[in-house]
Amino acid sequence: MNAGTIPYDAAIVGAGPAGVSCAVWLARLGLQPVLLESGDAVGGLCRSHPFADEWNASLPGATGPEVAANLARSLTQAGVDTRLSSRVERVDAMALAADTLASGFALRVAGLPDPLYARHLVLATGVRARALAQAENTALRTRQAGHCPGGIPAGTASVPQTDGILTGPGSHIVAQDFRNKKIAVLGGGDNAFENALYALEHGARTVRLFARTVRAQRQFVHQFPLDAVTVGDYVVDAQARTVNGQPYDLIMVFYGWEPCTRFAATLNLRRSARGFIATDQATAQTSFPGVYAIGEVAQRQHPCVVTALADGVTAAKAIQARVEAGR
Ligand SMILES: Cc1cc2nc3c(=O)[nH]c(=O)nc-3n(C[C@H](O)[C@H](O)[C@H](O)COP(=O)(O)OP(=O)(O)OC[C@H]3O[C@@H](n4cnc5c(N)ncnc54)[C@H](O)[C@@H]3O)c2cc1C
């Protein structure tokens, strides 16, 4: 392989709003992108929130799945080479020649016998909900490992749900029957309070919220009964499904998010203080030349569809400038 034979200007990993936006813009700018998505459809997290997207002033009333369908339409219109069910398992940087122009990346994609080569790499793999086993320091850690050996597989945006334990927000919460259940909610952020309220409104018998500290916005905290909140340390036994020794029918875990980046471990990318991929504000470039990180994986701005779309444009323009400058 030499620089002239690398087929793609950029490989974008992840077809959520950030990755789609970047791929569409690259195609419009006359470059050759390939978009790789581990799931069987385009849209990322938008596919798993069935509610109206109220953060996007340009699409009043549209739901997450409708936003996802629009993203898929944009890809088709732009003629982007989109590969679904294509989980990227590993990325290696290649130094092809003495000149810096001749850099590139080899991507190992599940199911493909040979690597896929691209001149630039864009990480748009989003986040997954942080699971109980990674955040607790009780016996739980070893017990839960049995459910998900080695943790969550690379490229799995959502956490596998286990019996009686629901992790993170999304469609699995909507699908849950809360009626007459005794529920413990773990976490002190917006998601914990919003989903605790949701369970109460959907027939739960009791909901107790456990928070080491409360960080949620007041609008959510004030709606939830104060006497049903325990603030401070607590002990969870996932197998027995108890919190502080009390049994629950269901434990709901809202411990924040972590970036899906295991496949890019060889690049040793610099992280932000909160563990996301660190990027340059103006270009979305990471600490590795030719590698960009956009959307939630980098948490560059307030995480939502609109900022993810904007991030995609930022990276596409930066890649175009790099190609034109011949670097
Ligand atoms: C319950 C819920 C409700 C929300 N409501 C709204 C809302 O109303 N409005 C709003 O603007 N935002 C909302 N958001 C947030 C919004 O969905 C996200 O900010 C946005 O989807 C982030 O886009 P992204 O492209 O960075 O990542 P994602 O949408 O997470 O996309 C990442 C993609 O990368 C893929 N991937 C991961 N690893 C690999 C790999 N190794 N190989 C190949 N593919 C991989 C994943 O399968 C996924 O498709 C909500 C989120 C949730 C969870």
CA of 46 to the centre of ligand 1 (A): 6
Residues 273 and 199 in one domain: no
Residues 154 and 10 in one domain: no
Domain limits for position 41: 3-126+260-325
**Quick check: CB of 49 below 6 Å from ligand 1?**
yes
Number of domains in the chain: 2
Angle at 223 between CA 211 and CA 136, to 5 degrees: 15
Q: Which parts of the chain sit beneath pLDDT 70?
A: 1-4, 96-102, 134-161, 327
* Domain containing residue 167: CATH number: 3.50.50
Residues 233 and 302 in one domain: no
CA of 2 to the centre of ligand 1 (A): 35
**Quick check: CB of 188 below 6 Å from ligand 1?**
no
Contacts of 312 (CB under 8 A, 6+ apart): 17, 18, 19, 20, 21, 22, 23, 24, 25, 124, 294, 295
Residues 226 and 266 in one domain: no
Whole-number Å distance between alpha carbons of 250 and 266: 39
Last residue of a domain, one of 194, 228, 253: 253
Q: Nearest residue CA, atom 18 of ligand 1? A: 304
**Quick check: CB of 312 below 6 Å from ligand 1?**
no
| Ligand 1 atom nearest to CA at 56 | 11
**Quick check: CB of 124 below 6 Å from ligand 1?**
yes
Q: Nearest residue CA, atom 35 of ligand 1? A: 14
* Domain containing residue 104: CATH number: 3.50.50.60
Residue among 173, 175, 212 at smallest CA distance from 194: 173
Residues 134 and 100 in one domain: no
Q: Nearest residue CA, atom 41 of ligand 1? A: 155
Last residue of a domain, one of 202, 232, 253: 253
Q: Nearest residue CA, atom 51 of ligand 1? A: 45
CA of 13 to the centre of ligand 1 (A): 12
CA of 298 to the centre of ligand 1 (A): 12
**Quick check: CB of 155 below 6 Å from ligand 1?**
yes
**Quick check: CB of 284 below 6 Å from ligand 1?**
no
CA of 257 to the centre of ligand 1 (A): 11
Angle at 162 between CA 156 and CA 166, to 5 degrees: 85
Whole-number Å distance between alpha carbons of 287 and 269: 6
**Quick check: CB of 290 below 6 Å from ligand 1?**
no
**Quick check: CB of 259 below 6 Å from ligand 1?**
no
Residues 14 and 120 in one domain: yes
Mutate to test the pocket of ligand 1, among 22, 36, 42, 46 (most ligand atoms within 8 A of CB): 46
pLDDT of residue 162: 72
